[in-house]
Structure 1
Amino acid sequence: MTPSPSEGQALVSNSGPSYGSVNFSIKDQGVHDEQHSEGGVREGSSLQNWNDNENAENPRNWSRLWKYSIIALVSFIELFTHLTSMLYAPGIPAMQRDFNSHNDTLATFTMTIYVLGFAVGPLVFAPLSEVYGRVVIYRSCLALFICFTVVCALSSSIGMLVAFRFIAGCFGAAPVAIGGAMVYDLFEVKERGLAMAIYHSGPIFGNLLGPPLGGFIIQHQSWRWVFWIITIFAGFALLSSFFILRETHAPTILCRRKADGGPRDFTPNHTNPDLVFRAIKRPLKLLLFSPVILACSLIISIVAGTMNLIFASLGRIFQDEYGFSTSASGLMYLGVTTGFLFAAFVFGRTSDRISQFLMKRNDGKRQAEYRLPAMMVGLPLVVIGLFWYGWSARYHAFWLAPMLGLYFFGMGVTTIQLSLQTYLVDSFTEFSASALAATTMTRCIGGSLLPLLGPVLYQILGLGWGNNTTLPADLPVPKDDGAYDHLSDLAIPTSLSLPIARDPTQRVNLAGLKGLTVVFCYPRTGAPNETVPDSWNSIPGARGCTPQACSFRDSLPELRALGVSHIYGISTQSPAYQAEVHERLHLPYDLLSDEELEFQRGLDLPTFDWEGQKVLRRSMIALQDGKVVKWWYPVFPPDRGVDDLIEWLKGR
């Protein structure tokens, strides 16, 4: 990697360091001839100093309380802009049912498109903050973010949701790049590690609170409430910004003094279109022609893409493989986000000390590279955490084991990101907003596109090497052979009763149940440590019993609201076997055992043989006061059968 410019030299002098074939001088960037350096605004050529180092207008001379209050507010703003992405993740299945969409890739895109907006926004707003100042960009973007988040809550189609999620992401991206630059504006080098850790705690808490809070909201309210809650947070932050946020960009402060009749000869033409255009080009020029920016961007984009892939798939893994409810699966995000938080705490306390120690060993010379040793710890933690998480989930280890793997993964991710962000701020000083915007673009592109590969990745490699919670794409589709045609208007035999798996001493007489009863029949569920054989996948309609059971569990509140009085799952497995399934999957309805084939013979239902056992073919039956009023056969894909049931219930 080409060494970065040292502190106070990167993009500072009029000669400027050359990267590739482009010279990044101040004049070449076209923002202004003046440059804010470590001591304020440096003198040289047309540059002017602050009157003295104690100048009260210099943001670095403000009180620690005021400086950290500003960073805390910026961190809070970034908290809910990240929360907007993570809070929505557990609601993807509910959104699919609401819009009657069966395209999992498009559904995942409704989450990742917001992250893609984070890639576009900083390219515009970060360089503009170097022209017009930080505060006006913050408040304008925050107000527009609120508007488009409201539109997301009112979306009437999945296409509308995708479009306005992207626009909201663009305006919500302002804190992502500008926040790091404000750390440069406010703090000396020796304080930046701690300040950057505090600033970075916002997205960490957003990731920490998002999934469990989202799971709770969606289980008790509509997924649209996610956006209403974000709107409330954003409105509070916008109001707070008028009391706490002050301009921190030194050239903007001096320009305003000149406008007020002050002595500073500092008059950049903020209305010059060519100046603004050149400012907007700067992040792309840095990305294309600076080896430092390019290398940092590649590392950050790979790490961020992997992190979002984990976030996009984690809920389904714990719901399908471990049988957790929506709210319980949201709590599993605590592993990775606790790792985020711990790493930020440690980094904030050690980064500045390591930098100071290395500076003393180098005869007092400061180098931005002194921020990088921590990254050498973070990289192996990411690899170790991923292997730990993937293989423990693959073999259904106790749920705490994969959660612990995610903890180490989260530690590694945060350590890498904080190391590189602080390094870039120290290297590119006044233009750190543009430098961070360049890396943010690649990070968000990787973070939005890599999760789309998740279903294919898991299907091919499984949880261990991929990370198989999703059903294979090449499962044979069962065909309707007419085996259920005789059920129309059939009355269930009154003598037919089946044992409840959780308590075989109790039996259910389906003929005597009043109201609407839904029964879904399935072949068999696999044991926790059982590897699904290829021969099972080759049988049309066999695979998918656990996802089907979980889909009824997660849709139970909606089914109750639509008038379903009773729900039962029936298979020919023993009561003891089904009792384990009932407990492991946290099913809020009962499973019935047809081990003696009473139900199968009583209704003459189709079966097939598996390893010497006769099992039921997958179907759903709706009973009204013990009489068949509707049946679905075959049911495919297994986890989408409940959607067909809900559609029928809504049309009754």
Structure 2
Amino acid sequence: MQSFIQYRKFSLAVRKQVQEDREKAVFCLSPELHIPESLVRDHRRTSLSSSTTCPAENTAEGLERANSATSARTQYSKRHTVGHFLTGIHARDRTTNEGKGGIVFVVNWEGDDDPLNPRNWGVAYRVWVTLIVASIAFVVGAASSTDTGILTQAAAEFGVSEVVESMTTGLYLAGFGVGAVFAGPFSETFGRNAVYISTMVIFMMFIMAAALAPNIGAQLAFRFLAGAFGATPLTCAGGSISDMWPSLEKTFAFPMFAISAFGGPVLGPVIGSYIMNIGTWRWSEWIILIISAFVLGLVVFFQPETFPPLLLQWKAKHLRDETGDHRFRAEIEIMHISLWMRLKIALTRPLKFALEPIVVLMTLYMTVLYIVLFTFLDGYPHIFQKVYKTSQGLTNVIFTVPWVYKITKECFVKQSFVPEVRLWFAMLGAPAIPISLFWMGWTDYASISIWSPIMASVLFGYGLICIFMTAYMYLIDSYEIYAASALTFVTFTRYVTAGGMTVVGVPFYNNMGPHWTLTILGCISLLMVPIPYVFYKYGHIIRRRSQYAVSWN
């Protein structure tokens, strides 16, 4: 709905711009450009009674230039003249690889303050749109972990072990990794909204199928497919944030999205656990379906398109319709790249980032943290139900995720911006992960207050939010135009690896116990702590030697 209204706004804005700039185009022409006599005569008649912005319009010099322009016969049409003088239009010849056709009018924004540009929308409206995008991240994230809260009941119904049933989470995450590869090319071809709506509808279909699954095989297959289609809106959501918020404003805008994206997996087990009070385990999927339907309604009725190249493509189409000149083209239209070619690039370019130190280490770090996170969630029944005898529902509510964020605008004002500034909160959060794991692992006794592991959980959530929030912004700022490929590599590797490792979480706790399991996880995460500090100190050197990274300083 909003996209349709937005499309109409572009039409009205283009019509208004053409009408306003047409007179300017007539009267401000240089002598060497010629226009039809009738057009000059019409303009001369109106210019004497109204003011324009042309510097010489009401002077003898201006009239002389107009007369000079009409003195010779010309082959140029009125539409050609308008093409040269419309604000935000750059006239140039096609390059060799852009094919034949001579001159092309490249369509861009009218200026830095063009209200059609998503980055110039009002702050309140951009916050509203960001919250809608964040709701998408929340629901697909919640679906990833909701089954961890009902493992016992689902496994009993299908007659399988809890280890087998835990594969519903692992395969969902693996589907995330696969789906993320295709998200970018589709969103760059069809726009963000088309991807949001179409993939969320398919995602909901497979969530419903998982709720109706007659056996464990069907449930695992449907969960994998739900993950694959759920990854697309989640991946594109980060793109929408970048579409609307410039680097400085992204400092306070991105956490709104990141916290929701992270809060989904955390609250998923809560949904799964408490749903047992009103029905069978299948209601965990039904609730996700209901929430998804609500979010889909928000997207359909209130979410505008934010992808700038597509918006400029709309503008170019309206200019062609308004002027009758087919040479108005958005940059992405000049040299057409098919969807198949975009997919080919998307599938091959991320592989090149396997040699990028920044990408490799950040991928390793976030993969380990995701393994720790989902293994950590698997251990909550062992930690609280078996030790402190809490109920199944209360067990999962205990995992709360605090978010602590302070705007660091002063840092951007006082010094030149470099991507390493993004790592400040990661450096604060990194030590919190191993500390919280060691804390919980060795205070998990019935003789010690339950508030000890609860506070350890709070510290764990704080560390994860700090790291994930800043790591993504650091990669985006470090690679800019190649950020999508870098994030695709990170996302694919993280989810596929984490999906495989989550299956070992249940037997890990059963065989090792929560004390040693959490200790081992703490030791693994401890090895990752130096990564943000190393990049904060030497990141600028690494970026200079990179083929794809941006050297800001």
Cα 1:109–1:353 shift into 2, 3 Å: farther
What corresponds to 1:77 in structure 2?
Answer: 136
Cα 1:87–1:303 shift into 2, 3 Å: same
Q: Of 483, 488, 507, which residue of structure 2 is paired with 1:437?
A: 488
Q: Of 90, 94, 107, which residue of structure 1 is paired with 2:149?
A: 90
- 8 Å contact from structure 1 (residues 180, 436) kept in 2: no
Which one scores higher on RCO, CA 8 angstroms, separation ≥ 6? 2
> Is residue 2:456 matched to residue 1:405?
yes
Deviates more, 1:231-240 or 1:286-295: 286-295
Cα 1:452–1:76 shift into 2, 3 Å: same
Cα drift, residue 394 of structure 1: 5.0
Mapping of residues 360-399 of structure 1, within 5 Å: 360-361=414-415, 365-394=416-445, 397-399=448-450
Cα 1:268–1:79 shift into 2, 3 Å: farther
- 8 Å contact from structure 1 (residues 79, 206) kept in 2: yes
Cα drift, residue 270 of structure 1: 6.1
CA distance in 2, matches of 1:242, 1:210: 24
Cα drift, residue 69 of structure 1: 1.5
Describe the SS at the equivalent of 2:296.
helix
> Is residue 2:467 matched to residue 1:416?
yes
Cα drift, residue 281 of structure 1: 1.9
What corresponds to 2:478 in structure 1?
Answer: 427
What corresponds to 2:516 in structure 1?
Answer: 465
What corresponds to 1:151 in structure 2?
Answer: 209
Structure with more helix by fraction: 2
Cα 1:163–1:190 shift into 2, 3 Å: same
- Residues 137-185 of structure 1, C-alpha deviations (whole Å, 9 max, x = no match): 1111111011111101100011110110010011111233222221211
CA distance in 1, matches of 2:89, 2:478: 17
What corresponds to 1:287 in structure 2?
Answer: 353
Cα drift, residue 286 of structure 1: 4.6
- 8 Å contact from structure 2 (residues 147, 168) kept in 1: no
- Residues 582-605 of structure 1, C-alpha deviations (whole Å, 9 max, x = no match): xxxxxxxxxxxxxxxxxxxxxxxx
* Structure 2 counterpart of 1:301, one-letter code: T
Matched residues, number: 413
What corresponds to 2:51 in structure 1?
Answer: none
What corresponds to 1:350 in structure 2?
Answer: 407
Cα 1:91–1:65 shift into 2, 3 Å: same
CA distance in 1, matches of 2:276, 2:410: 44
- Residues 387-424 of structure 1, C-alpha deviations (whole Å, 9 max, x = no match): 01111115652211111111111111110101111112
CA distance in 1, matches of 2:513, 2:496: 25
Cα 1:67–1:275 shift into 2, 3 Å: same
CA distance in 2, matches of 1:314, 1:43: 63
CA distance in 1, matches of 2:123, 2:205: 34
Cα 1:43–1:316 shift into 2, 3 Å: farther
CA distance in 1, matches of 2:258, 2:149: 24
- 8 Å contact from structure 1 (residues 132, 270) kept in 2: no
What corresponds to 1:321 in structure 2?
Answer: 387
> Is residue 2:172 matched to residue 1:106?
no
TM-score, normalization: structure 2?
A: 0.70
* Structure 2 counterpart of 1:275, one-letter code: M
What corresponds to 2:268 in structure 1?
Answer: 210
CA distance in 2, matches of 1:308, 1:43: 54
- 8 Å contact from structure 2 (residues 439, 453) kept in 1: yes
> Is residue 2:257 matched to residue 1:194?
no
What corresponds to 1:185 in structure 2?
Answer: 243
Cα-Cα RMSD:
2.6
* Structure 1 counterpart of 2:346, one-letter code: I
- 8 Å contact from structure 2 (residues 108, 330) kept in 1: no
CA distance in 2, matches of 1:41, 1:414: 43
Cα 1:140–1:268 shift into 2, 3 Å: farther
What corresponds to 1:64 in structure 2?
Answer: 123
- Residues 205-258 of structure 1, C-alpha deviations (whole Å, 9 max, x = no match): 324533233211113311111111111111122222122212211111112222
> Is residue 2:234 matched to residue 1:176?
yes
CA distance in 2, matches of 1:407, 1:296: 23
CA distance in 1, matches of 2:349, 2:186: 11
What corresponds to 1:605 in structure 2?
Answer: none
Describe the SS at the equivalent of 1:392.
coil
What corresponds to 2:504 in structure 1?
Answer: 453
Unaligned stretches of 5+ residues in structure 2: 1-87, 96-105, 321-327, 520-553
- Residues 460-488 of structure 1, C-alpha deviations (whole Å, 9 max, x = no match): 643223119xxxxxxxxxxxxxxxxxxxx
Cα 1:128–1:242 shift into 2, 3 Å: same
What corresponds to 2:344 in structure 1?
Answer: 278
Describe the SS at the equivalent of 2:220.
helix
Describe the SS at the equivalent of 2:442.
helix
* Structure 1 counterpart of 2:204, one-letter code: I
CA distance in 2, matches of 1:429, 1:300: 20
Cα 1:409–1:162 shift into 2, 3 Å: same
- 8 Å contact from structure 1 (residues 90, 214) kept in 2: yes
CA distance in 2, matches of 1:114, 1:457: 20
Mapping of residues 539-550 of structure 1, within 5 Å: none
Cα 1:251–1:161 shift into 2, 3 Å: same
- 8 Å contact from structure 1 (residues 73, 237) kept in 2: yes
Cα drift, residue 130 of structure 1: 2.4
Describe the SS at the equivalent of 2:112.
coil
Describe the SS at the equivalent of 1:246.
coil
What corresponds to 2:362 in structure 1?
Answer: 296
- 8 Å contact from structure 2 (residues 185, 339) kept in 1: no
Q: Percent identity among equivalent residues?
A: 26
